[in-house]
């Protein structure tokens, strides 16, 4: 269902990506933003899941400007490597947004486009829906949203957080909710990474409920 592709940003930079096409005519496009671990098996699987329900899904490899093909799993060593790459992404955040836009343009072949992202990708998703032409967004446990909290989403946006996420204080979540009462904020009895079935923190019920809410959002605002 899915395949590796090359994306071209507006500054000419070429990066890798993963694209999953549905059977038949797509009902819209979804850009899937990776965790700190690169476009790994989990992110490819999420793209495939969106394709299974009718969306064209595209995941850009947002670390390619720093290291081509970076992809790791979820061991402590992998987490340490991912954090180093995340820091590089944050230092070059404008270029990250350029690369998201490259993915959005491909996804727009299907019509309207939504965006979703996880961990660091939740932060990138928030900034992207505020700065680019996305029709809806679903942010999962984005721990660095506060520096961008004064930006305004261009489309309906929901946010998912885990109550027991040691890296994202509930006080931060509360600040986001107060700054954006128009954006539903959902808090689950779960830890960071609860949506990833390849991590020890996976929480099946929370992931299922969050997925239902995310699919409902996209079906309402992206599917056409």
Compute φ and ψ for 27, nearest 5 degrees: -95, 0
Helix, strand, coil distribution of the chain in percent, nearest 5:
40, 20, 40
Active-site residue identified among 180, 192, 195, 221: 192
Q: Do the strands 56-60 and 113-118 form a parallel or antiparallel pair, or are they unpaired?
A: unpaired
Q: Which helix (H) or strand (E) holds 25?
A: none
Known catalytic residue at 192? yes
Active-site residue identified among 21, 64, 99, 165: 165
Active-site residue identified among 16, 21, 47, 119: 119
As given in the structure block, the two tokens for residue 43 are: 């992110």
The pairs formed by 86-92 with CB atoms below 8 angstroms and a separation of 24 or more are 86/36, 86/120, 88/63, 89/62, 89/63, 89/120, 89/124, 90/144, 92/65, 92/66
What gap in Å lies between CA 7 and CA 96, rounded to an integer? 13
- Residues with catalytic function: 119, 165, 192
């Amino acid at each position: 269902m899915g395949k590796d592709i090359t994306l071209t940003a507006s500054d000419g930079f070429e990066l890798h990506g993963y694209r999953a096409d549905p059977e038949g005519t797509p009902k819209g496009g979804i850009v899937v933003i990776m965790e700190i671990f690169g476009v790994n098996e989990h992110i490819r699987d999420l793209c495939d899941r969106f394709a299974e329900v009718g969306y064209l899904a595209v995941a850009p490899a947002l670390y390619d400007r720093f290291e081509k093909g970076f992809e790791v799993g979820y061991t402590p060593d992998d987490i340490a490597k991912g954090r180093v790459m995340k820091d590089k992404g944050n230092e070059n955040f404008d270029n990250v947004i350029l690369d998201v836009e490259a993915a959005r343009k491909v996804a727009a072949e299907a019509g309207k486009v939504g965006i979703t992202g996880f961990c660091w990708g939740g932060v990138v998703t928030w900034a992207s829906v505020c700065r680019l032409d996305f029709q809806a967004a679903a942010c999962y446990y984005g721990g660095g949203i506060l520096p961008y909290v004064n930006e305004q989403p261009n489309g309906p946006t929901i946010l998912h957080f885990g109550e027991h996420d040691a890296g994202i204080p509930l006080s931060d979540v509360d600040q986001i909710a107060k700054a954006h009462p128009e954006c539903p904020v959902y808090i689950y009895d779960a830890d960071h990474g609860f949506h990833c079935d390849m991590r020890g923190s996976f929480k099946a019920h929370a992931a299922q409920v969050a997925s239902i809410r995310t699919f409902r959002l996209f079906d309402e605002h992206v599917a056409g």
